[in-house]
Amino acid sequence: MNASLVKTTPQGDFAEISALKKGWENRFQSFANENRPIKFDMYPFEGIPPEISERLMQLGYHDLILENDRWQHFLVPASN
C-alpha cells in the first residue's frame, strides 16, 4: 500500500478503529469492504494483519501518516 506523510489531518468523515476494542479486525475489514476512509492509531497495533493489508492494497487504499504524530494513520480509498 502506498504511504505518504501529511502535515495536517485529512478532511473527511473517517471511520475510527481502535485496537483496544474487541473485534477491531472485523471492523477494519467491514469498513474497507464499504470503501470508507479509515482512521487508526498505529499504537498499540502490532501491525495490520496481512489479509487486511492485502485487501486494502487490492482496493487501492492510500495510507496518509500524520507527520507530527506518526502513530496516526488515515487510510483513504482510491475513489476519495
Helix axes 24-33, 50-58, angle to 10 degrees: 10
**Residue 34 lies in domain:** 2-76
- For 61-79, the pLDDT digits (tens) are 999 999 999 889 999 998 6
CATH code: domain of residue 8? 3.30.110
Q: Which residues contact 37 (CB under 8 A, 6 or more apart)?
A: 10, 12, 13, 14, 15, 74, 75, 76, 77, 80
The pLDDT of residue 80 is: 52
At 1-48, the pLDDT tens digits run: 789 999 999 999 999 998 888 888 899 899 999 999 999 988 777 778
Based on the structure, what is the number of domains in the chain?
A: 1
